């Protein structure tokens, strides 16, 4: 059977290679970096969040407008299948209190080592420091290698080149102009699961950059999320911000800025807060009064000073309202390379139902280079695995059909040659 080529050594590419090799297809996997799985390992630094255990409909809703395209992929290889796959590598998983699913040791490295060992045992050949450059006019794949440029034949190819964030780990988006040059429709890459610039005063930045905001909630366009985030020198970031980064980013693109409302005390009602603030404070300063009556201090108290007009502090009702809904104006998302993931990529409209480029037969796309996005919480990895699984299956089917067609034409040619020989015989 003709060989398959997979370009990109992240979860999507590795999964495509596994699916192909399991079907007896020779697989060569190429990656531009010195080793594969670098972003996967980085994702596991704080605990590898493989997937999520929430009910199916809630899980699928995390993919927003691209749910229709991703739903069949996730039906074929979703959260349960992903956990079973990990168990097959000898990696047990557990469900955390938030519903997120982790390996029992929380680490990415043991899983990746076991996976790469299994892939090599199945015959997958790895070629690192090979940067894809596109195609020759004859259709062969071009690679820039330490030994110079080389061309490679492939019966089918799976592109799993990642998005455009964290270029040092291999996802640099350099493939975008290449595919656009061949006529593929690519939606612009944009930061997702990202932080935002706020424009703090020098005083606030110097005092509170790096401070966590714990046990808070944010409200934006009818959505409320609770958790924690981080004040940075530029603005805010962290899991709570990432959860709403897509609508925040979109609002900034259309309106120039986005204002979220920060609830500094989600466990208390405005009435209870106003009642506590209305009590006499005597000779105590307002800072001491906030700390003594409400426990508000440090970065939370600093945010009130940063974002409220002075006159609001003299009115307990206004101050209580601000504690429950402090407006934070976001000016811009942080740069693409700082984001955890990216939105945009190869448009599903440029692909057929099997993730094959419509204008490039035999070339399939998978992973974060596709035009979808999802919040953190296991949703990103699950869709990368699922799309890699789907692209691998589709590429294997394409190769089987291609080989069957070749055998058919060879048989016709052989039959025609035999017929001519018989006709020419005396």
Residue whose C-alpha is closest to residue 205's, from 181, 233, 168, 225: 233
222 found inside a domain: yes
Residue whose C-alpha is closest to residue 338's, from 197, 165, 196: 165
Same-domain pairing of 22 and 162: yes
Same-domain pairing of 178 and 269: no
Same-domain pairing of 208 and 276: yes
Residue 241 sits at φ, ψ, to 5 deg, of -70, -40
Q: pLDDT tens digits for 194-212?
A: 999 999 999 999 999 999 9
Same-domain pairing of 174 and 271: no
DSSP H or E stretch at residue 226? strand 223-231
Same-domain pairing of 95 and 228: no
Domain extent for 285: 196-333
In the chain, how many domains are there?
2
413 found inside a domain: no
Q: What percent of the chain has pLDDT over 90?
A: 81
Same-domain pairing of 78 and 178: yes
283 found inside a domain: yes
Query: Residue 119 above 90 pLDDT?
Result: yes
Question: Tokens at residue 24, please?
Answer: 């007896």
Question: CA 376 to CA 383: how far, in whole Å?
Answer: 11
Q: pLDDT tens digits for 47-86?
A: 999 999 999 999 999 999 999 999 999 999 999 999 999 9
Please report the sign of the dihedral spanned by the C-alpha atoms of residue 87, residue 90, residue 91, residue 95: positive
Mean pLDDT of the chain: 93
258 found inside a domain: yes
Same-domain pairing of 109 and 213: no
Query: Residue 310 above 90 pLDDT?
Result: no
Query: Residue 406 above 80 pLDDT?
Result: no
Which residues contact residue 404 at a Cβ distance below 8 angstroms, ignoring those fewer than 6 apart? none
Q: What is the pLDDT of residue 318?
A: 87
Boundary (domain end) residue, out of 294, 316, 333? 333
Same-domain pairing of 157 and 201: no
Q: pLDDT tens digits for 279-290?
A: 877 767 778 878
Same-domain pairing of 169 and 264: no
Q: What is the CATH number of the domain that holds 175?
A: 3.50.50.60
Secondary structure class of 413 (helix, strand, coil) = helix
423 found inside a domain: no
Question: Tokens at residue 131, please?
Answer: 């940067």
Q: What is the pLDDT of residue 413?
A: 61
Boundary (domain end) residue, out of 311, 333, 355? 333
Residue 231 forms beta bridges with which residues?
236
Which residues contact residue 344 at a Cβ distance below 8 angstroms, ignoring those fewer than 6 apart? 163, 164, 186, 187, 188, 189, 190, 371
Same-domain pairing of 120 and 181: yes
Concatenated DSSP letters of 101-152: EEETT--SHHHHHHHHHHHHHTTPEEE-S-EEEEE-TTSPEEEEETTEEEEE
Confidence of residue 426 (pLDDT cuts 50, 70, 90): very low
Task: Say if residues 392 and 16 touch (Cβ distance below 8 Å).
Answer: yes
pTM over 0.85: yes
Of 71-80, 159-168, 266-275, 343-352, the range with the lowest mean pLDDT is: 266-275
């Amino acid at each position: 059977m003709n060989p398959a080529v997979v370009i990109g050594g992240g979860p999507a590419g590795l999964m495509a290679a596994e699916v192909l090799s399991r079907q007896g297809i020779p697989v060569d996997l190429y990656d531009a970096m010195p080793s594969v799985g670098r972003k996967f390992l980085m994702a596991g630094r704080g605990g590898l969040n493989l997937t999520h255990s929430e009910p199916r409909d809630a899980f699928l809703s995390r993919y927003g407008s691209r749910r229709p395209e991703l739903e069949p992929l996730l039906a074929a290889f979703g959260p349960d299948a992903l956990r079973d796959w990990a168990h097959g590598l000898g990696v047990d998983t557990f469900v955390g209190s938030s519903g997120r699913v982790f390996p029992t040791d929380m680490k990415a490295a043991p899983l990746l080592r076991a996976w790469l060992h299994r892939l090599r045992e199945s015959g997958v050949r790895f070629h690192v420091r090979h940067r894809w450059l596109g195609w020759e006019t004859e259709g062969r794949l071009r690679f820039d290698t330490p030994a110079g440029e080389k061309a490679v034949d492939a019966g089918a190819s799976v592109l799993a080149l990642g998005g455009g964030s964290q270029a040092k780990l291999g996802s640099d988006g350099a493939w975008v102009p290449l595919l656009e040059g061949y006529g593929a429709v690519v939606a612009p890459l944009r930061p997702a699961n990202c932080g935002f610039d706020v424009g703090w005063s020098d005083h606030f930045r110097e005092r509170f950059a790096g401070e966590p905001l714990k046990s808070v909630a944010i409200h934006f366009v009818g959505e409320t999320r609770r958790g924690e985030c981080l004040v940075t020198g530029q603005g805010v970031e962290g899991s709570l911000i990432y959860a709403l980064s897509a609508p925040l980013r979109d609002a900034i693109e259309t309106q120039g800025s986005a204002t979220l409302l920060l609830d500094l005390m989600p466990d208390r009602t405005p009435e209870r807060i106003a009642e506590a603030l209305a009590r006499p404070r005597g000779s105590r300063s307002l800072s001491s009064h906030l700390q003594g009556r409400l426990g508000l201090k440090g970065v939370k108290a600093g945010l009130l000073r940063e974002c409220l007009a002075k006159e609001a502090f003299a009115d307990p009702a206004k101050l209580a309202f601000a504690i429950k809904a402090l407006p934070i104006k976001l000016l811009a998302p942080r740069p693409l390379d700082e984001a955890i993931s990216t939105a945009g990529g190869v448009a599903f409209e440029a692909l057929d139902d099997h993730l094959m480029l419509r204008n490039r037969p035999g070339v399939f796309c998978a992973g974060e280079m596709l035009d979808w996005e999802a919040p953190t919480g296991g949703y990103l990895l699950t869709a990368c695995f699922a799309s890699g699984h789907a692209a691998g299956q589709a590429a294997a089917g394409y190769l089987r059909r291609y080989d069957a067609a070749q055998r058919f034409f060879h048989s016709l040619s052989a039959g025609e040659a035999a017929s001519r020989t018989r006709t020419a015989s005396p």
